[in-house]
Amino acid sequence: MRKSTLLCAASLAAVLVSPALASPAAAQDLTIAVSAEPSALDPHYHNLGPNNAMRRHIFESMVLQDEKQRLQPGLATSWKPLDDTTWEFKLRDGVTFHDGSPFTAKDVVYTVCRIPNVENSPSSFTVYTKAIADMQIPDPHTLIIKTDTPYPLLPVEVSTWGVLSAAANGVTGDIGFSREGCSGTGDYPKTDDFNTGKAAVGTGMYKFKEYSRGDKIVFERNDNYWGGKADWATVTFRPITSDGPRVAALLAGDVDMIDKPPLQDLERIKSEGFQVAQGLSNRVIYLHMDQEQEPTPGVTGTEKNPFKDVRVRKAVSMAINREAIKERIMGGVAVPAGELLPPGMFGSTPGAAAEEYNPDAAKKLLAEAGYPEGFGLTIGSPNDRYINDAQVAQAVAQMLTRIGIETQVDAVTASTFFKRRNQYEFSMYLAGWGSGTGEMSSPLRALVATRNKDKGYGGTNRGRYSNPELDSLIDQALATVDDDKREKILQQASGLVMADYGILPLHFEVTPWAFRKGISYAPRTDQYTLALGVKPAN
Amino acid sequence: MLVYLLRRLGQSLFVVAAMAVLVFVGVYAIGNPIDIMISPDADQAEMEAAIARLGLDKPLWEQFFIFVGNALQGDLGKSFVYSTDAVSIILAKLPATMELAMLALVFAVFIGVPLGMIAGLRPHSLAGKSIMAGSILGFSLPNFWQGMMLILLFAVLLKWLPSGGRGETAELFGIPFSFLTLDGLSHMLLPAINLALFKTSLVIRLARAGTREAALQDYVKFARAKGLSSQRIVLVHIAKNIMIPVVTILGLELGSMIAFAVVTESVFAWPGMGKLLIDSINLLDRPVVVAYLMLTVFMFIIINFIVDMLYCVLDPRVRLSEAKA
């Protein structure tokens, strides 16, 4: 039966398939298959990777992040602090929106006004605008932003949201900015208006053409782009969430490029004549240890919480062979980490090396701390969130067992893992952190600062590490506008955590992309897949 | 007849109520959507605000009663992820799934029934035996594997057909369909075959068993004795009589093809309801999952009802006994 069905299919296929389908797509068109789909084209609806990547095609920010997340001029040509709480942004002349209206400072104010007013936003961008206390427009191409306290991260935060057109959304008069609610803005566009394309009017290199949820997102070239001509006449993004079919779509020639090819398929992809680009990402994979509960739920064989002792934390770190994890489990595609941010990014310490593997010293240290026989431990880990996450946890478990800590792995699907982790069910867990701002304060503030709702510290510090000295260094860094001084403080803070083994970095993920011959892609540390970075190679 | 209908209706209502409880409690026991949806950069204040926005701060029973209250007014909730009406999100995906299921059904009937009848009429011939061997393959090869093999063969190696997606669509009554364009049809072919393989095997077996049984019956012998051509005997008298089990099973299977084409739709990146379901589960978009399962329950109830009606049309005995009841 199967044979006959196949035969039947073959003959049907021969009849149905026109020659045009078999030929490669026109050179001006680019099709990219992505593993995750944005939940909307509204740039302010959902602060999450896929949405943030997609909006960059249509909506630009005053400040751009390049592929290494360094800040570059975007809609603003320059910016500088006038004093500790005042910033001046000089805006670019001659920029127009897709509907032809000119870009001015009013559009930025309009955007900041809209961000808190997006209905039902699952994850709001207000985290990136709440520092803005006031905005003034001395002339149409100059914008003054006031903050309550010295706020050095303002340019970075400004780079996370795209600018809407006030005129295209029906604003004719002046806008009065106020945190409690602006005046003169009229009704803000709804999220659906962006999905239908009606409100999808930005200054970006590409214009909205078509959006069919679950199927495709199509952009076309913006001929009036201020930064030169786009390389592609149309760009189509197709969400293919399963790994196998995504690779197959590339091999079959249906798409020009895919993101996140599985590591085990890289050889096959290369051998079929396709190319792979890899780049260090901003994501660190780390182990966090419960340093609060006593006794702690995942530890057996002792009534105490061993992780409150820095010697135990150090012993665990020394017992882990990071080089072996990189080679055997990550297929060489990872970089052992000695810090929470990859080398070369703002606030990382030059020459920060990964902990050296030394199981003998680890055993000795463990005995010194009062655990000569070790103890029992369960590590929590997601099994579908990071590259080979459960396998990494397994390897760590074996390495810890070797120094006497009998370790098991409790690996579950991400949604369940995060829920249990946030209820403090794990004494040690494996997770990852990508630095959205591309600088050191992001991981420090989220992962190791003492949990504090008012300051917004320690949001993901589910080991509840707490070090007042570190907290005050972070406070200081976040109030230092001078870049050089701030970087020094961040390095000092990072060094402090590493010396205290408050958290154990394992490795930095390396992100792969695969594409056909004839195009090139510059890998991005933020792991975004942007058509803006895809160039025809010639 | 009326009593019968009323009894069926009562049963259906009970099924809907029981499913509502099971689905709701089951789905709400898994994970925490906020952990998946919110940006890791969000601070605790923002996280609490988002939890309150989605109503997740309320206890389970309160959430359930809100859900039931809204459901009785025809509102099955708003998607957490898209903040749009869950039912309209699902219905927007319905045409894509429908046309795929229909094409698969056509394959299953027009390939399965003739092959099954051949195997039933000539059980010991080479053709009959190979048809049966083939149907075992169709049964036992895992669906996702078949799909990947179809892609490897026809898309990657031969490059005859696209590997996935929906292709070009054309509008009919304002609804986009793929089967109206050549490109769309070429995109439909592989997933439809993948979806149809199992059903075809099933139909072959049913048709074969029915044919073997019918061929020995008195009315067939009588028709033969009367001198009817064997063509007429097979195509009219036997074919008609084997259709009852085939229609029953296909009715049920059509339901499962529409509701649970999850594997095929994921493998071929077909933007239908099955893919929506699996994506929503991964994103913990509870309202969509719950609405989806509730709609599925409705659909199965309606399909079963239609199947019952078809019995009446196909089999006069059912008609008579129902009339008495």
DSSP label of A432: E
Token pair 């665990």 is found at A316
B205, pLDDT greater than 50:
yes
Residue, of B297 and A322, whose pLDDT is higher? A322
**pLDDT at residue A205 in the model:** 94
- Mean pLDDT (whole number) for A370-376: 92
CB contact under 8 A, A415 and B44: no
Q: Let me know: does B99 contact B177? Beta carbons within 8 Å.
A: yes
How many CA atoms, within 13 angstroms, populate the side-chain half-sphere of residue B62? 5
Q: Give the model confidence (pLDDT) of B65-112 as tens digits.
A: 888 888 888 788 888 888 888 888 888 888 889 889 989 989 988 998
Closest Cα in chain B, distance from residue A131 (Å): 13
CB-CB neighbours of B323 under 10 Å? 10
Cβ–Cβ < 8 Å for A519, A537:
yes
Query: Residue A222 phi/psi, 5° resolution?
Result: -95, 105
- Name residues 2-21 of chain A within 8 A of B (Cβ): 2-6, 8-10, 12-14, 16-18, 21
Percent of chain A having pLDDT more than 90?
71
Mark yes or no for CB contact B164/A240 under 8 Å: yes
Residue, of B93 and A203, whose pLDDT is higher? A203
Non-local CB neighbours of B10 within 8 Å, separated by 6+ positions = none
Strands (E), A68-130: 71-73, 76-83, 86-91
Q: What is the pLDDT of residue B322?
A: 56
What's the pLDDT at A20? Answer: 39
Q: Which of A191, A213, A245 lies at the smallest CB-CB distance from B268?
A: A245
Distance from C-alpha of B15 to C-alpha of B294, rounded to nearest angstrom: 10
* Residue of B31, B138, B153 with shortest CB distance to A416: B31
Residue found by looking up tokens 């005042």 in the block: A86
- Whether pLDDT at B174 is above 50: yes
Pick the CATH number of A281-510 from 3.40.50.1970, 3.10.105.10, 1.10.260.40, 3.30.2420.10: 3.10.105.10
Is the Cα dihedral A434, A438, A443, A449 positive or negative?
Answer: negative
**Residue ranges per structural domain of chain A:** 1-35+205-274+516-538, 43-187, 281-510
**Looking at domain A43-187, which of 3.40.50.300, 3.30.420.40, 3.90.76.10, 1.20.120.430 is its CATH number?**
3.90.76.10
Compute the distance between CA of residue A380 and CA of residue A386 in angstroms, rounded to an integer.
Answer: 13
Q: What is the pLDDT of residue A103?
A: 94
- Token output for A68: 């290494």
| Least CB–CB distance from B182: residue in A18, A238, A416 | A18
What does the alpha-carbon distance between residue A398 and residue A403 come to, in Å, rounded to a whole number? 9
Per-residue pLDDT reduced to its tens digit, B21-40 = 888 888 887 778 888 888 87
Query: CATH class for domain A1-35+205-274+516-538?
Result: alpha beta
Considering only CB atoms, which chain A residues are within 8 Å of B131?
1, 4
Give this prediction's pTM: 0.84
Helix (H, G, I), strand (E, B) or coil at A220: strand
Inform me whether the C-beta atom of residue A210 falls under 8 Å from chain B C-beta atoms. Answer: no
Q: Which residues of B touch A192 (CB under 8 A)?
A: 84
Task: Residue B209: count other Cβ atoms within 10 Å of its Cβ.
Answer: 15
Chain B interface includes A39 (CB < 8 A): yes
Q: Which whole-number Å values give the CA distances from B77 to A511, B17, B23, B258, B287, in the listed order?
A: 37, 17, 14, 22, 6
Count other C-beta atoms under 10 Å from residue B65's C-beta.
Answer: 11
Query: pLDDT confidence of A26, banded at 50, 70, 90?
Result: low
Q: Under DSSP, is residue B42 helix (H, G, I), strand (E, B) or coil? A: coil
The amino acid present at A182, given as its one-letter code, is C
Please indicate whether, in this complex, the C-beta atoms of A123 and B39 are within 8 angstroms of each other: yes
The answer to whether the CB of A219 falls within 8 A of the CB of A211 is no
Give the pLDDT band (50/70/90) at residue B312.
low
Interface-testing mutation among A45, A210, A215, with chain B (most B C-beta atoms within 10 A): A215
Separation of alpha carbons B254 and B267, rounded Å: 19
Q: How far apart are CA B272 and CA B283, in angstroms?
A: 17
Question: Which of A17, A39, A122 is facing B161, going by the closest CB pair?
Answer: A17
pLDDT at A5: 43
Q: A327 or B235: whose pLDDT is higher?
A: A327
CB-based contacts of B51: which residues, under 8 Å, 6+ apart?
B34, B57
Token output for A515: 């594409």
Q: Which of A5, A40, A414 sits opposite B200 (nearest CB)?
A: A5
Q: Which of B38, B78, B83 is the best residue to mutate to test the A interface, defined by the most A CB atoms within 10 Å of its own CB?
A: B83
